[in-house]
Amino acid sequence: MLRRKPTRLELKLDDTEEFECVKKELEVSSHSIMDKWDGKTREQMINERISYKPHPKPNTLPSLFGNL
């Protein structure tokens, strides 16, 4: 199979302006996300999203062996 020679990409003034605009929007949105961040871990956010409520493991001796 034949390989083509690499093509040259040329940026126009519109392209650079659009890039700067998108870059500013991302910076602004990332700051607003950080303001809303409430300290949840990734695992907690996933559990909340899938409606999973993990139960803590019991640490007392009778609860480990059940009711005999």
pLDDT tens digit at each of 68 positions of the chain: 789 999 998 889 999 999 999 999 988 877 666 656 667 788 888 888 898 887 776 666 665 566 55
pTM for the structure as a whole: 0.38
CA dihedral 40, 44, 61, 64 (to 10 degrees): 180
Give the burial string for 23-42 (b: 16+ CB within 10 Å, else e): eeeeeeeeeeeeeeeeeeee
Query: Which helix (DSSP H) or strand (DSSP E) does residue 17 occupy?
Result: helix 13-36
Q: What pLDDT was estimated at residue 36?
A: 62
Q: What pLDDT was estimated at residue 40?
A: 77
Q: What pLDDT was estimated at residue 41?
A: 83
Max CA distance (Å), the chain: 79
Cβ contact 63:55 at 8 Å: no
